[in-house]
Amino acid sequence: MTFNPLQERGIPLDKQLRNWRELNVTPIDPDHSDPYTRCRIIAMNGIEVEAILFSHQFNRHCPDPAVKQQLARVRYIEAQQQKAVNWLLPGLASVLETTIAYEQVAVDLTAWVARMEPDPYLK
């Protein structure tokens, strides 16, 4: 079963607001979870952070106040989602463990991009 975001209906922004109880997610247990679960969480957190940064930059260059107001609502929801994703990582990891996990994500993503690159010269 595959997920095609262009075929799925979106959830209205008003229904995406979370209270503190919903934001308080249970972190993963690194001893009893799939080894790539941490990598997936780190990658998703990076995507969420980049979306928020892009929205801030877009807001700075947008002259329309109505669009800026809608962007602010979207950013608020995205910030909540980013917090929920980021809080899935346990706070018990040392700086070295966190660094190794981020490096693993970087290496795996680079390898995936190289495998998917159709141009042999760029590959």
What's this model's pTM, rounded to 2 decimal places? 0.79
The answer to whether residue 25 is domain-embedded is no
The answer to whether residue 108 is domain-embedded is yes
User: What tens digit of pLDDT does each residue of 30-69 get?
Assistant: 888 887 899 999 999 999 999 999 999 999 999 999 999 9
Q: How many domains does the chain have?
A: 1
- Give the C-alpha separation, 52 to 34, whole Å: 28
Separation in Å, CA 45 to CA 2, 48, 55, 97, 115? 22, 5, 15, 17, 23
User: What tens digit of pLDDT does each residue of 67-100 get?
Assistant: 999 999 999 999 999 999 999 998 888 889 889 9
- Give the C-alpha separation, 75 to 54, whole Å: 10
The answer to whether residue 67 is domain-embedded is yes
> In this structure, what token pair is assigned to residue 94?
């040392």
The answer to whether residue 107 is domain-embedded is yes
Range of the domain at 95: 44-116
